[in-house]
Structure 1
């Protein structure tokens, strides 16, 4: 067989593999596979869907391996960093990933192919993760702590670029009926990998610090791999209007709040549902000093609870989101309200520390959390169009970033009124979110 015929054979095998994976995802579809993307993009959709799944899976695994709430907090504590430093991790990560988006959206809109923004952002995140591991290995504890915080800030900004550009690229390269399943499948696969990592952390087979530092290095490699993989995405050139001065673009984006009442309602729903992200530390603290609570708060167990919930729910949530992201947001709010209300009730009845009670409630909350993530992502992509999708994403993410910073008020509530009061307030927030979500449009319906 000649070299050219071998190359042709390998190409055909690759195409067949891509088509097989794509067909497995669309096996229940009724032929409505390209109802809102150009014909040129439709031809590349099998390849693009697989590229999205592989790239997104890699970055989601990387996210699990450096989770600031768990992994980096533990690492800084081991390095002897102050509680002040540890307390900065989550605000830097969450606000840094969301707040810059209102200003970066304008620059991204000047790019006809926005996949390149995602490629650069993913590569920078990988470099930062590797830098964190090297800082912990070779720097003095204080310098290592500040270095990790600085690298996390850079990583968060790079993540914000990826967040804005990804939703826009997804909307241009994957049809409406496939988006939820594509992201949901990636989340489920990634959850399986993170579960394996959590079990390894819990096993005691290797020193935990070695596993954490190794996890950071693997996370960096995965982000860089995803960056390289994403370059192969077939993305059609899109609209570039709106690029320019960031402040001017920010003012224009803010005007969307006046013009689009559905966007305002969506942001209100998403803002109330930040309770699903903020609640877990308060729930774990409610467990007190009992053996169950201490076991749950172990590094491996917490990672395992989150990953298991994602594994069991993400693809289902993604599939439901393709049918009605509005209903997913409603159901997620109700699930979260149930978990939070039962946490308060069981704490009042002094049974929260009984075996399996707190882990089960945390598991239910994390299922709701992953529903929120997939439902709001799919709803935002589908409610927007190619011309305003990046602006919608940037505006909503920036507002949510501000609300997450304001979430520090829950620490004040806990200090003066107790943790049970925090659970009650968050329960009300989730119930309100479901009530407001009823008024969202069914954006998955054909226009």
Structure 2
């Protein structure tokens, strides 16, 4: 029912022996990935953790560190860990360990919220988030490799898209509780942190039951040498360079929300939590309504998904600027609407680039492509902190104009990508 595929497309690009386990593996991916994505939504650094640090009286510097620590910490280490992880013939266990560590870190953040305040709370929560990000980097660099070995080419986008949609449903419930104000606000957030820890633990246990075929283990050399070799892939593969350029321009979809909120936030401090609930609802609603559709489209053409989502992001950001110029952005509906539109585009970016990367690579290059791409994007996200300086010097409107332009340029970059779903994956070069 989920894939609607004929029998002739069931076993593309995976070992024949893995086909026997594919139905079970397919749903194992959906449930385990759905659990971790739900946990991600419950501890969202851009919204939930920033509110939590504010309530605990932590200095603003810690709030400013949340997104850079979370995003760059999850991406930058991957170039150096890919070679070591490749020594593991069964990489599902690395993902399992990373998920367990993320769960423990979420619980540590919850305990810190209960016991600490001020600077101590800021140090503890940022430290736990940093460890969580490192564990996430292990999961990220191994997940696409495991997905490529256990789920057929025609079903990968569907699996990830379905998991994202399912998780969005549960995060919507969380957002509704936040917006309602029926329960004590701090209690809701702390309970969500502990629930996130439990979900990561559950996902780890379930993922360990995947029927994964042993993979190639050659190439697990010194991390620095592996890093240099991975960069030769960038030199030799034109399509990889274009893909990374497209993805690099599309970091605009990740960087924009805080600036959109800053531009439109005219609420009193007492209304901040209600606003948080509405933004969580908007973000989760966008994921629920669009992720499965984006995933199905990505299985047909991840290139077109990247083009469409980049165009949608540019339109959403330009729309935000127009609403602001008209003086409408302070309306109760305006900011959630623009966040909703941007997050639909963001989901397309996530699913399109993930599916495109897996399908453009083969079993020998997939892990290296993933690590190289994620590390470069991690560096760009780290450099993205300069947008805060630009906002100070030139204003929030200028930042959003630059981000809208980046999204528009991503459309042009994505036009040059190959339709990888129509071709068998090839080696670099």
Instruction: State the TM-score, normalized to the length of structure 1.
Output: 0.92
1:301 matches 2:271: no
Q: Quick check: 2:309–2:346 contact (8 Å CA) kept in 1?
A: yes
* Corresponding residue of 2:412: 435
Q: Distance in 2 between matches of 1:221 and 1:409?
A: 36
- 1:28, distance to aligned residue in structure 2 (A): 4.4
- 1:114, distance to aligned residue in structure 2 (A): 0.6
1:365 matches 2:338: no
- 1:283, distance to aligned residue in structure 2 (A): 1.2
- The structure with the largest alpha-carbon Rg is 1
* Corresponding residue of 2:156: 179
Q: Quick check: 1:284–1:296 contact (8 Å CA) kept in 2?
A: no
CA shift in 2, pair 1:29/1:301, >3 Å: farther
Of 81, 85, 90, the residue aligned with 1:104 is 81
Of 30, 38, 52, the residue aligned with 2:29 is 52
1:31 matches 2:15: no
- 1:340, distance to aligned residue in structure 2 (A): 0.8
- 1:294, distance to aligned residue in structure 2 (A): 5.8
Q: Distance in 1 between matches of 2:6 and 2:391?
A: 48
1:212 matches 2:189: yes
- 1:358, distance to aligned residue in structure 2 (A): 2.8
The 5 A counterparts of 1:23-422 are: 24-29=1-6, 31-289=8-266, 298-422=275-399
Aligned residue pairs: how many?
424
- 1:154, distance to aligned residue in structure 2 (A): 0.5
Q: Distance in 2 between matches of 1:345 and 1:193?
A: 32
| Structure 2 residue runs without a partner (length 5+) | 425-429
| Structure 1 residue runs without a partner (length 5+) | 1-23
- 1:297, distance to aligned residue in structure 2 (A): 7.3
Q: Quick check: 1:62–1:222 contact (8 Å CA) kept in 2?
A: yes
What SS does structure 1 have at the residue aligned with 2:8?
Answer: coil
What SS does structure 2 have at the residue aligned with 1:176?
Answer: coil
What SS does structure 2 have at the residue aligned with 1:31?
Answer: helix
Q: Distance in 2 between matches of 1:288 and 1:209?
A: 22
Q: Distance in 2 between matches of 1:119 and 1:295?
A: 36
* Corresponding residue of 2:427: none
Q: Quick check: 1:296–1:302 contact (8 Å CA) kept in 2?
A: no
Q: Distance in 2 between matches of 1:352 and 1:29?
A: 48
Moved more, 282-291 or 388-397: 282-291
Q: Quick check: 2:178–2:274 contact (8 Å CA) kept in 1?
A: no
Q: Distance in 2 between matches of 1:322 and 1:29?
A: 14
- 1:435, distance to aligned residue in structure 2 (A): 0.6
Q: Quick check: 2:282–2:337 contact (8 Å CA) kept in 1?
A: no
What SS does structure 1 have at the residue aligned with 2:327?
Answer: coil
Q: Distance in 2 between matches of 1:162 and 1:294?
A: 37
CA shift in 2, pair 1:29/1:425, >3 Å: farther
Moved more, 320-329 or 300-309: 300-309
- 1:424, distance to aligned residue in structure 2 (A): 1.3
Q: Distance in 1 between matches of 2:384 and 2:111?
A: 32
Q: Quick check: 2:313–2:342 contact (8 Å CA) kept in 1?
A: yes
CA shift in 2, pair 1:425/1:264, >3 Å: same
Q: Could you say what the CA RMSD is over the residues aligned between the two structures, in angstroms? A: 1.7
* Structure 1 stretches of at least 4 aligned residues deviating more than 3 Å after TM superposition: 28-31, 293-297
- 1:205, distance to aligned residue in structure 2 (A): 1.5
- 1:68, distance to aligned residue in structure 2 (A): 0.8
Cα deviation, 1:159-196, whole Å, max 9, x if unaligned, reads 00000000000000000000000000000000000000
Q: Quick check: 2:314–2:404 contact (8 Å CA) kept in 1?
A: yes
Moved more, 207-216 or 144-153: 144-153
